[in-house]
Amino acid sequence: MTQHYTMMQYFEWHANGDGNHWNRLKEDAPHLKEKGIDAVWLPPACKADHVMNTGYSVYDLYDLGEFDQKGQVRTKYGTKEELIAAIQACHDHGLKVYADVVINHKAGADEAETVKVVEVDPSDRNNIISEPFDIEAFTKFDFPGRNNKYSDFKWNYTHFNGTDYDHKTGRTGIFKILGENKDWNENVDDEKGNFDYLMFTNVDYQHPDVRQQTIEWGKWFIDTLKIDGMRMDAVKHIESYFIKEFSEAMRAHAGDDFYFLGEYWNADLGANEQFLEEADYNTDLFDVKLHFNFKAASEAGSAYDMRTIFDDTIVAEHPEIAVTFVDNHDSQPGEALESFVKDWFKQSAYALILLRKDGYPCIFYGDYYGIGGDIPVEGKQAAIDPLLYVRQHKAYGDQDDYFDHPNVIGFVRRGEGNKTGCTVIINTSETEAEKQMHVGKSRAGQVWYDYTNTREDEIIIDEDGNGLFKVNAGSVSVYCESE
């Protein structure tokens, strides 16, 4: 984790596909830094199977919007030159850049091959439900548009262990590819028996050529874009020992401070801990359990016990590797993992990730700038900006928790040096509330204001260093000494 950094996921699922996203980031870089963002997580930059694809249907890892493939030179977000210029602009303004890396599967193959498979039960991939038979599988990737530039490696069925479509019959299913040393990778999430297979044509990390080629690509990718880290997509579906091997190879190439962040979309703490152990704790992880706690609190309202909001979370058990977030492109309305935190609780949830001591908070572009598509959501920049300001200028030092009421919780940051600290009070009840919190005897006589501009109270710190802080119903207030 990078100390006191704040990350922004700089895209949402329906980000404008006009090819100008990299240009918008380039223009936005100084504004992001001014607001208190220290790092941006970019959407997948590699050529997908279609120009309007968000990037997770990856076709060619070596095509960053440079070659006429899949109907366009550019990707959804722009060209390679525009991407490099956007990253340079971020670096010029002191922003770190993390690239989204999709190496679990490939899509949009150039040709089909006859492949021997068995069909497996979609709900238990260890349960074979057919005799071996032949299908025509889209497993041949020659990248003719790139014509061997950067790499002459060609993919075929031996490099994959599963697919979901038989071109011969037009039938879909989950088909395990047969062959020497072919099976599902073992060290993956055990949902559905074995969750190696996720979608499209599944990359087989038991194959030595696949491991070598992926590592070679990773080095090229770092050198080409000068990125500061990688967000690893779908790591619960990838052999965990390869994640360890890959991360070690990237750090050996780019330096020990090269950043890794894994997406292990499972709210079970034990499953996350098993992955971390196998991957040798070489990567931070998104705190998926905390996200689901936020969702539950937003849906239950006053029936949710806020004293339990951090129960079974990564940030509570492993604060040094937790990336805390409220929502993302997968959890937004209409998407596969839809689990959107309700609007009334959004600012409270962001206060819980931005103003506390632990965790590396990640702000979602869709929450900040708004969500497009068929289910549009307005941006909440006005609600998030004051929290960013307090994080940047106030929320430092020791932390005292007042998690002593099921609906009204609070915490104090004591301050550090010229960073004068803050108090946060969150209320999920239907009436306004107050809580006495201790900010230190040295604060006696100070006047503290609510930086969210929700309340107009002037809280005067008494001679013992206590303040009686007030909050509206279903709201959050963040008090700091007046400037």
Give the residue numbers annotated as catalytic, written as ranges: 233, 263
Whether 143 and 60 have beta carbons less than 8 Å apart is answered as yes
- Torsion sign, CA atoms 15, 21, 27, 31: positive
Give the helix ranges, DSSP H, for 2-147: 21-35, 80-92
Q: What is the DSSP string of 17-46?
A: -SS-HHHHHHHHHHHHHHHT--EEEPPP-S
Residue 446 CB contacts under 8 Å (≥ 6 apart), including other chains? 460, 461, 481, 482
Question: What 3-state DSSP class applies to 468?
Answer: strand
**R_g of the chain, CA atoms, integer Å:** 24
Whether 18 and 77 have beta carbons less than 8 Å apart is answered as no
Whether 424 and 454 have beta carbons less than 8 Å apart is answered as no
Whether 423 and 481 have beta carbons less than 8 Å apart is answered as no
Question: What 3-state DSSP class applies to 66?
Answer: coil
CA 2-271-160 angle, to 5 degrees, is: 95
- State the Cα–Cα distance between residues 185 and 376, nearest whole angstrom: 39
What is the identity of the amino acid at 117? V
End-to-end CA distance of the chain: 31
Residues pairing with 7 in the sheet: 39, 362
Whether 155 and 204 have beta carbons less than 8 Å apart is answered as no
Which residue, among 412, 413, 479, 411, has the nearest Cα to 449 in the 3D structure?
A: 479
Whether 33 and 389 have beta carbons less than 8 Å apart is answered as no
- Dihedral angle over CA of 417, 420, 421, 422, nearest 10: -170
Give the helix ranges, DSSP H, for 255-363: 269-278, 288-300, 314-317, 343-354
The 10 Å Cβ neighbour count of residue 303 is 11
Give the helix ranges, DSSP H, for 179-307: 208-225, 240-254, 269-278, 288-300
